[in-house]
Amino acid sequence: MPELPEVETVCRGLSKNIIGLTIKKLIVYNNKLRYSIPNDLRKKVLHSKIKAIIRRGKYGLIMLSNDKIIIFHLGMTGIFKIAFKDTEKVKHDHLMIEFDQNVWLTYNDVRKFGYIELTQKPFDIFNLKNLGYEPFMSSYYSDFLFYKIRKRTGTIKDILLDQKFICGIGNIYASEILFAANIIPFKKGINIKKHEFFKLLKEIENILRIAIRQGGSSIKNYANPDNELGYFQTRFQVYNREGLSCYNCKSLIARVKQSGRSSFFCIKCQT
């Protein structure tokens, strides 16, 4: 499932390929994604130019020259494909945009949990308005975040997944971050010590930066817009390594279900 590093990779890949281009044609093959693709999308974006592309949490924002913004969320299996010649529609292609200069962009999503929205004010949209701090900004607010976390009775794993606290972290990187910070996933927010929390913030940045550098993970069918698969998955320390030995201490990596999702951890390295 794409998390911050994958979405960042997608945004960078899209920026490299479509900024400055004009939308010539847009076809919605299927609008039944998590939320329906707006009926007037084509009408509202046609002939506009791509000005900038940014990421916020796990959302991508494509800014257009007519001041409208296309917002995308990749859900579980959403991918963008870039082509430099007209290509055949394949299964699970839901949207195709043709640009000038012979560039085609297709959104493909097998499980259809992703979505595409159009807005003028992205922060009015429910999901964006309620997003917490960006991970790379959170160290500026470390004292405030620590004050907040000390009031939380939920587990640190659930707090990391809470997009209203710090945004962009999902199940994979939460396990990796907690391992790097030597914190057991079921420790309660209220019990986190200040030095642990500061280390956690540092590891959030570290782990996400490494993942972005490596092009995002290639778990399931995730691909960046150049169709280059990432390779961070081969370097996971704990994620999906249940029963294998910890690279650090040789103990076995354990897996438990937490709020319905798997947490991977080393009982010796994480306390």
Site for Zn ion contains 238 (CB under 5 A): no
Contact residue for Zn ion among 249, 252, 256, 259 (CB under 5 A)? 249
Site for Zn ion contains 245 (CB under 5 A): no
Cβ distance 109 to 94 under 8 Å?
yes
Which residue, 39 or 245, has its beta carbon nearer to Zn ion? 245
Which one of the spans 87-95, 147-155, 227-235, 251-259 is the region binding Zn ion (CB under 5 A)?
A: 251-259
Site for Zn ion contains 269 (CB under 5 A): yes
Site for Zn ion contains 266 (CB under 5 A): yes
Contact residue for Zn ion among 190, 248, 252, 259 (CB under 5 A)? 248
Contact residue for Zn ion among 105, 246, 264, 265 (CB under 5 A)? 246
The residue sitting closest to Zn ion, measured at its beta carbon, is: 246
Which residue, 166 or 269, has its beta carbon nearer to Zn ion? 269
Active site residues: 2-3, 58, 261
Q: Pairing between strand 23-28 and 93-99?
A: antiparallel
User: In the complex, what is the shortest distance from the CB of residue 266 to Zn ion, in angstroms, rounded to a whole number?
Assistant: 3
Number of residues that bind Zn ion (CB under 5 A): 7
Which residue, 161 or 266, has its beta carbon nearer to Zn ion? 266
Which residue, 120 or 248, has its beta carbon nearer to Zn ion? 248
Site for Zn ion contains 178 (CB under 5 A): no
- Which residues bind to Zn ion, rule: CB under 5 A? 246, 248-249, 251, 266, 268-269
